[in-house]
Structure 1
Amino acid sequence: MDIVQPAYMKSTFGLDIYYEHYPNKGKKTLILIHGLFSSTFSYRKLIPLLKQDFNLIAIDLPPFGQSEKSNTFIYSYRNMGKIIIELAGYLQIQHAILVGHSMGGQIALYAATERPDLFEKAVLLCSSGYLNKSKKSLVYSTYIPYFYLYLKRKLLKQGIMKN
């Protein structure tokens, strides 16, 4: 799979956001949003199938993939939705379809709710829905450097059936 235009955008939150752009002028734009503990890599099999028919944008949400990790950014669905909106503006996208997998679906819902004029629809793939606010202990633990690696390791040890 050839990556046409991998690039970074500096968000208003001060983070460098990695994205891949597969331009296809005159075609509808799909913005691909990955799930928890994932990245643009999760769309590697789907991109070759879609890039002929769509203008594709795949994003690495912070702190995943090649996007910047930060101790000051508040990792909320709303803030990540704002990053999606910023990326669309940065790339001068007027109308787009959001494609969100798992947690990415929830972020797509936040972005679409915030800017219904920008996003004509959202395609949710095995998406999580709106969730209650997380416990403060979990939120605070995400500020610990490399906590996500600990959590990932713990989930892998438990196995897929237990999770």
Structure 2
Amino acid sequence: MKATTELLTIGEHRVHVELYQQPSNKESIIMVNGALATTASFTNCVKYLHNDLNVILFDLPFAGQSKPHNPAGGIITKDDEVNILLALIDHFQPDSLLSVSWGGYAAMMALAQSPASIKRAVLASFSTQLNEPMLNYIHGARHNIEIGDVKTAANLLNDEVGKYLPRLLKYVNYRHLSRLDKQELAQVCFHIEQILSLDATDYEQLLGDINIPTLFVNGELDEYTTPEDVREAAHYMQHCAFETVPNTGHFLDMEHHKARAAMEEILRGFLTPDERKYKAA
């Protein structure tokens, strides 16, 4: 299915938006990319959800198809990300939200402000804890970027967080990351510093302010955002549930066919009006 596109002005930024719409769909979902990812990262999700949900994708100003429309550059902070996300929610009025990886933090910040249209959310490959493998990875990535060894940083992503990706997607990751310009690399380093500055109190307050059914989905083999670590969220949230995708790492439905099928079943069961099997509790 081909998307229609829009270019929205939000504050000082221009934001590229892709819309996958069907006249018969009663609800819609907005999807929030992980760090430096683009709308392309949701290709599988669009394929198995667009017949039941209108899908809204967007690129942040420094990434993908938004980048050419923001020539002034500059760092995008988490507050900027949240303001952009809230503006898009206000504009399109989606019923649900799906975030992946570190897009989950901006998603949580937005959800904590209780946007009226959002009735349920999925946070995939996210954890409220920075465990030892994640800390080792982000410190290594920061070091390689700071010394100008971007190719080693790209290989580190594939060898660590992306270790279960098929060879073709590892190549795509490497090509994308090894070609980042100075603005994008500065954004990566700023993003890492933001991650390292967070503590348990930041997460506890955000989680406590989220009052809609929220599903956490993590890969069984993911050492960086583990299914065990994310269950801490249950101590602070009234309406949350957890799903684990078997034999799968951090990149979930991008890793292999069975992971894709499992993610489709999980997401359709939680998000789609006709197949909704349970309420998060």
Alignment-mate amino acid for residue 80 of structure 1: E
Aligned position for 1:59: 58
Q: What is the identity percentage for the equivalent residue pairs of Structure 1 and Structure 2?
A: 23
Judging by fraction of residues, say which structure has more strand: 1
Are the aligned partners of 1:33 and 1:100 in contact in 2 as well (CA < 8 Å)? yes
Q: Distance in 1 between matches of 2:104 and 2:20?
A: 21
Unaligned stretches of 5+ residues in structure 1: 132-146
Write out per-residue CA displacement over residues 23-67 of structure 1, whole angstroms, 9 at most, x where no aligned residue. Answer: 235522110111012100001122021110001101112311111
From the superposition, tell whether residues 45 and 116 of structure 1 become closer, same or farther in structure 2 (CA, over 3 Å). Answer: same
Trace 1:22-101 onto structure 2 (pairs within 5 A). Answer: 22-25=20-23, 26-68=25-67, 69=70, 70-72=72-74, 74-91=75-92, 93=93, 95-101=94-100
> Aligned partners of 2:17 and 2:114: how far apart in 1?
20
For residues 1-163 of structure 1, the aligned pairs below 5 Å read 2-12=1-11, 14-25=12-23, 26-68=25-67, 69=70, 70-72=72-74, 74-91=75-92, 93=93, 95-129=94-128, 153-158=151-156, 160-162=158-160
- After TM superposition, the score normalised by the length of structure 2 is 0.45
Superposition TM-score, scaled by structure 1 size = 0.73
- Match of 2:57, SS state, is strand
Q: Which moved more, 1:109-118 or 1:78-87?
A: 109-118
Q: Kindly tell me the number of residue pairs found equivalent between the two proteins.
A: 142
Contact 2:89–2:115 (Cα < 8 Å) also in 1: no
Larger RCO of the pair (alpha carbons < 8 Å, separation 6+): 1
Q: Considering only CA atoms, is the larger Rg found in Structure 1 or Structure 2?
A: 2
Moved over 6 A (4+): none
Q: How far did 1:162 drift?
A: 4.8
Residue 71 of structure 1, CA deviation = 3.3
* Aligned equivalent of 2:257: none
**1:112 CA displacement:** 0.6
Structure-2 change in CA distance of 1:128 and 1:29 (3 Å) = same
- RMSD of aligned residue pairs (Cα, Å): 2.6
